[in-house]
């Protein structure tokens, strides 16, 4: 039975249970499993009238919504290939991706998105908007049998393109089916104990409550959505990024998928709020936080247990409830390494953070923390079932297994570069401990090679500087071919504070990894400015090109100083 057949069977069993809901003006707008299946049927009937052929591409250009889920399931059920696109990207970038895969039709969530594409690409393929589909209400379809075979390409997801144009990653039904089995299995482990975190006297209902804010066009986000459908979960969709905090509390999730940036903002917000509040709560929090850090370092003092116990009774439960609601069992985090400080912060509050590592080419996941095993802060757990990983030349992580994609759309040479001798070459540098838990060190393509010949991964250095520099948004270390490292620092920070941060970080680094100059950039790099990828990663080559004069001036000033 294909993954799609399993999802449909689960939805049929769920009947009138709510499986999706959006929060609009603070009120839930629910969709039952029966209603979702009806919407899928309506969308399938609409797609059939377009007389598309099996394997034709259907671009999905829309913000997250319940209709997006129905359309995605309908596209795959009709044997078409879904091409999800990020609605916040510029029309020029979106058009470049669509010209690469040339969809037969473009499904848009709203008319403004369709208009932007047509303006940038007058000869674009036909398009339609969701409202044209779901307000028509036609269905059911004749012969609703599902047409998905294991080798069928069900989606083409475009990679971020940090060092060049985006490539279309093809994922087939076999890739997705294996991954959904792995993710559902991990969640079975997490939810086996039905008591609520922090209150063992209470138990959870049988249906998992999940909050979701990450765009479905990202592989990990899409896999989480499909996993929720497979499990019959109640999935609450955030449709307004400005309301994440409030909607998160309203959804009262038991777990949800995150990126490091949000968790780090949540940690900083707690610190800032407690400093404003002051008084006894701040004293208990500060004492407990120091005690927690010393415990992790094996340097506990007399009295530390008292402050931690007091905080666990009086402060931490209140923080958990105000920040995320009262039913949370764990946070799941992927897309980039989470800072050790942030992971330890949530662990201090009694909230496990399960890390995930993977790429679009690995169907989003290679490793996941095991809920039944001790979580090792700073690592992303062991490989998932059926997946092999090892270290190759230049400390590169290579992977093989049923999660590995069949190739890039229409790019055989690019495919051959990364799929060699049965192994997928990730481009990530990593290390693994004796228990099989992996840690991601950096990207090989990001390596800076100094004039001295030293090879340096910039990410760990950038993380250290950011940790010591509140107010900074991004730090980009540069220095390829130069005599030493320097950095671009974005955000509203002063030169004095930046230098003070470097004075803290540099002594702990070997001489060739020390950052000896910096240039301040007040405006943060953004997706809209073209300097971040769709999922928020730095486009280092473009940043270096955009700020070439400033970088040259920084090094020239050092020569004349």
Check residue 147 and give its pLDDT.
Answer: 72
Across 522-557, b (16+ Cβ under 10 Å) vs e yields eeebebeebbbbbbbebbbebbeebbeeebeebbee
Segment of 103-112, 141-150, 482-491 carrying the highest mean pLDDT: 103-112
Domain that holds residue 368: 257-326+329-444
Q: Which of 482, 197, 184, 166 is nearest to 317 (CA)?
A: 197
Q: Is the pLDDT of residue 11 over 50?
A: yes
Q: Which of 335, 334, 339 is nearest to 462 (CA)?
A: 339
Q: In angstroms, how far apart are the furthest CA atoms of the chain?
A: 78
> Is 166 within the bounds of a domain?
yes
Check residue 164 and give its pLDDT.
Answer: 57
pTM of structure: 0.85
Contact call for residues 320 and 297 (beta carbons, < 8 A)? no
> Is 201 within the bounds of a domain?
no
Q: Which of 179, 181, 171 is nearest to 231 (CA)?
A: 181
- Asked whether residue 189 falls in the same domain as residue 178, the answer is yes
- Asked whether residue 78 falls in the same domain as residue 132, the answer is yes
- Asked whether residue 436 falls in the same domain as residue 489, the answer is no
Give burial (CB, 10 Å; 0-12/13-18/19+) of 138. middle
> Is 206 within the bounds of a domain?
no
* Domain end call among 420, 444, 468: 444
- Asked whether residue 485 falls in the same domain as residue 399, the answer is no
Contact call for residues 240 and 330 (beta carbons, < 8 A)? no
Backbone phi and psi for residue 279, each to the nearest 5 degrees, phi listed first = 70, -155
- Asked whether residue 388 falls in the same domain as residue 523, the answer is no
Q: Which of 552, 528, 466 is nearest to 502 (CA)?
A: 466
What is the percent of the chain where pLDDT is above 90?
66
Check residue 320 and give its pLDDT.
Answer: 87
Q: Is the pLDDT of residue 294 over 70?
A: yes
Q: Which of 345, 329, 405, 409 is nearest to 165 (CA)?
A: 409
> Is 320 within the bounds of a domain?
yes
Give the side-chain half-sphere CA count within 13 A for 108.
19
Which DSSP string corresponds to 338-390?
Answer: PPHHHHHHHHHTT--EEEEE--GGGTT-SEE--TTS---TT---SBPTT-EEE
Which element (helix H / strand E) includes 274? helix 260-277
Cα–Cα distance, 455 to 479 (Å, whole number):
11
Give the side-chain half-sphere CA count within 13 A for 195.
5
Domain CATH number, residue 423: 3.40.50.12780
Cα–Cα distance, 292 to 290 (Å, whole number):
5
Contact call for residues 353 and 376 (beta carbons, < 8 A)? no
Q: Identify the band that residue 172 occupies on the pLDDT scale cut at 50, 70 and 90.
A: very high
Contacts of 152 (CB under 8 A, 6+ apart): 55, 79, 172, 173
- Asked whether residue 333 falls in the same domain as residue 463, the answer is no
- Asked whether residue 470 falls in the same domain as residue 437, the answer is no
* Domain end call among 410, 429, 444: 444
- Asked whether residue 540 falls in the same domain as residue 472, the answer is yes
Dump pLDDT digits (tens) for 72-115: 999 999 999 999 999 988 898 899 999 999 999 999 999 999 99
* Domain end call among 411, 429, 444: 444
Cα–Cα distance, 87 to 211 (Å, whole number):
20
Contact call for residues 78 and 58 (beta carbons, < 8 A)? no
Domain CATH number, residue 511: 3.30.300.30
- Asked whether residue 383 falls in the same domain as residue 431, the answer is yes
Check residue 203 and give its pLDDT.
Answer: 43
Q: Is the pLDDT of residue 202 over 60?
A: no
Cα–Cα distance, 229 to 144 (Å, whole number):
19
The Cβ of residue 134 has, within 10 Å, a number of other Cβ atoms equal to 17
Cα–Cα distance, 179 to 176 (Å, whole number):
5
How much is the average pLDDT of 537-561?
84
Contact call for residues 78 and 145 (beta carbons, < 8 A)? no
- Asked whether residue 412 falls in the same domain as residue 464, the answer is no
- Asked whether residue 427 falls in the same domain as residue 518, the answer is no
Q: Is the pLDDT of residue 374 over 60?
A: yes
Compute CA distances 229 → 9, 70, 144, 325, 338, whole Å: 10, 11, 19, 23, 27
Token digits for 438? 């992996």
Count of domains for the chain: 3
Q: Which of 318, 366, 322, 316 is nearest to 346 (CA)?
A: 316
* Least-confidence region, from 241-250, 368-377, 443-452: 443-452
Cα–Cα distance, 472 to 492 (Å, whole number):
7
> Is 183 within the bounds of a domain?
yes
- Asked whether residue 114 falls in the same domain as residue 20, the answer is yes
Identify which has the larger pLDDT, 164 or 430.
430
How much is the average pLDDT of 14-27?
93
> Is 286 within the bounds of a domain?
yes
């Amino acid at each position: 039975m294909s993954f799609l057949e399993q999802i449909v069977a689960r939805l049929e069993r769920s009947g009138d249970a709510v499986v999706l809901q959006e929060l609009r003006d603070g009120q839930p707008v629910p969709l039952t499993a029966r209603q979702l299946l009806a919407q899928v049927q309506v969308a399938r009937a609409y797609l059939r009238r377009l007389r598309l052929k099996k394997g034709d591409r259907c671009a999905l250009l829309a913000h997250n919504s319940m209709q997006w889920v129905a359309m995605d399931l309908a596209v795959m059920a009709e044997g078409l290939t879904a091409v999800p696109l990020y609605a916040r990207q510029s029309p020029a970038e979106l058009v470049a991706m669509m010209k690469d895969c040339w969809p037969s039709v473009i499904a848009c969530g709203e008319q403004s998105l369709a208009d932007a594409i047509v303006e940038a690409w007058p000869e674009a393929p036909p398009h339609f908007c969701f409202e044209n589909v779901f307000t028509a209400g036609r269905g059911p379809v004749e012969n609703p049998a599902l047409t998905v075979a294991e080798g069928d390409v069900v989606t083409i997801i475009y990679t971020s393109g940090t060092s060049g144009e985006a490539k279309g990653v093809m994922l087939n039904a076999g890739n997705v089916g294996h991954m959904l089995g792995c993710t559902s299995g991990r969640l079975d482990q997490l939810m086996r104990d039905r008591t609520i975190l922090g209150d063992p006297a209470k138990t959870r209902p049988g249906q998992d409550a999940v909050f979701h804010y990450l765009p479905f066009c990202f592989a990990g986000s899409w896999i989480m959505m499909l996993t929720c459908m497979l499990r019959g979960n109640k999935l609450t969709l955030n449709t307004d990024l400005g309301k994440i905090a409030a909607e998160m509390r309203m959804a009262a999730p038991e777990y949800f998928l995150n990126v490091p940036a949000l968790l780090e903002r949540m940690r900083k917000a707690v610190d800032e709020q407690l400093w404003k509040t002051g008084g006894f709560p701040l004293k208990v929090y500060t004492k407990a936080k120091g005690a927690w850090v010393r415990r992790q370092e094996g340097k506990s003092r007399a009295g530390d247990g008292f402050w931690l116990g007091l905080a666990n009774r009086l402060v931490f439960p209140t923080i958990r409830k105000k920040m995320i609601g009262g039913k949370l069992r764990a946070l799941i985090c992927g897309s980039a390494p989470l800072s050790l400080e942030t992971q330890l912060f949530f662990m201090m509050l009694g909230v496990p953070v399960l890390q995930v590592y993977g790429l679009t080419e690995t169907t989003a996941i290679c490793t996941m923390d095991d809920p039944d095993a001790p979580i090792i802060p700073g690592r992303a757990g062991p490989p998932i079932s059926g997946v092999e990983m090892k270290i190759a030349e230049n400390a590169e992580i290579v992977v093989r297994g049923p999660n590995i994609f069949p190739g890039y759309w229409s790019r055989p040479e690019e495919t051959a570069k990364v799929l060699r001798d049965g192994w997928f070459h990730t481009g990530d540098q990593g290390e693994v401990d004796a228990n099989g838990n992996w840690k991601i060190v950096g990207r090989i393509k990001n390596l800076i090679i100094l004039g001295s010949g030293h090879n340096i991964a910039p990410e760990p250095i950038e993380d250290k500087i950011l940790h010591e520099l509140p107010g900074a948004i991004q730090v980009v270390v540069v220095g390829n071919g130069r005599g030493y490292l320097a950095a671009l620092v974005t955000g509203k920070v002063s030169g004095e504070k930046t230098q003070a941060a470097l004075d803290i970080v540099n002594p702990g680094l070997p001489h060739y990894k020390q950052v000896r100059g910096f240039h301040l950039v007040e405006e943060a790099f953004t997706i809209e400015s073209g300097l971040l990828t769709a999922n928020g990663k730095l486009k280092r080559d473009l940043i270096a090109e955009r700020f070439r004069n400033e970088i040259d001036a920084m090094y020239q000033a050092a020569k004349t100083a």
